[in-house]
Amino acid sequence: MRALLVTALALAIPGVAVAAPRISGEYLEARTCAVYTGPCFANGEMDLAGKKAVMAWKVDAGEWNGVTLDGLGAALVVRAEGTLGDDGVFAMRPGKVRGVILVDERAAATERDALVDFVKKSAGPLAANVVAVEPVPFELKNDHVENVGTLKAGETAHVETRGIKDGDCVCTNEIVFYNPLAKVENAHPVHTKSFGFRGEGLGTKFEARAQSSAFLATFEH
């Protein structure tokens, strides 16, 4: 919303040019710890949970490294030694992080290379040790009104979310404790119905469900 407001204000001021984003689209993230929770519960999970995550991007329009990527997507699945992320004040210490990038199988070689570079730049240090790149059937859909996000990366990874309900709150002191793992816009927490990874390269497979551990968002660069 802040980005939209800044753009609107700039358009209203004569002589102010607004650069169009080079690339934009939808983002979906899920982790193995709650991101919307009470601080006491979050403190109890630190260094015990939140060591695995799926981060996914679907390009609506734009290019990267001079390559048009409209309609294509990719995901990064990571496994860390410690809890991933930060609460805006204190950064966690994830230790060594291993990652696998899942790329839309429809992408040609140049598009695949551009998607991989985009994911690495977007995820920063979390993508410093990518051990495999795998082409998969890729579908990501976000509904920001119903707070429903779905990722289907073949048989390798999946995410399914819904909006947070009153019954999901335990202590009534819940807040957005963790920020999204990537630079995004319009992020809001949602409840993970299920998400998981069944691929190779991370030394583990995982499945998690029934926790407010996901973000729906958009991105633009």
The pLDDT of residue 1 is 41
CA 36 to CA 206: how far, in whole Å?
A: 21
Mean pLDDT by runs of 10 across the 221 residues of the chain is 42 51 94 80 65 97 97 97 75 86 98 98 95 98 96 98 84 79 95 95 92 95 90
The pLDDT of residue 71 is 98
CA 220 to CA 18: how far, in whole Å?
A: 14
CA 91 to CA 36: how far, in whole Å?
A: 17
Amino acid found at 70 = D
CB proximity list for 26: less than 8 A, separation 6 or greater = 57, 58, 60, 140, 141, 142, 217, 218, 219
The pLDDT of residue 95 is 86
The pLDDT of residue 176 is 83
Cβ-in-10-Å burial (0-12, 13-18, 19+) of 159 comes to: buried
Q: pTM (2 decimals)?
A: 0.87
**DSSP codes, the chain:** -HHHHHHHHHHHSTT---PPPSEEEEEEEEESS-SEE-HHHHHHHTTTS--EEEEEEEEEEEEETTEE-TT-EEEEEEEESS---B-SSSB----SEEEEEEEETT--HHHHHHHHHHHHHHHGGGGTTEEEEEEE-EEEEEETTTTEEEEEETTTEEEEEE---GGG-SSS--EE-S--SS--EEEEEEEEEEEEE--SSSS--EEEEEEEEEEEEEEE-
Other C-beta atoms lying within 10 Å of the C-beta of residue 134:
18
The pLDDT of residue 48 is 67
The pLDDT of residue 46 is 67
φ, ψ dihedrals at 111, nearest 5°: -70, -40
The pLDDT of residue 8 is 46
The pLDDT of residue 199 is 95
The pLDDT of residue 171 is 67
The pLDDT of residue 174 is 78
The pLDDT of residue 12 is 47
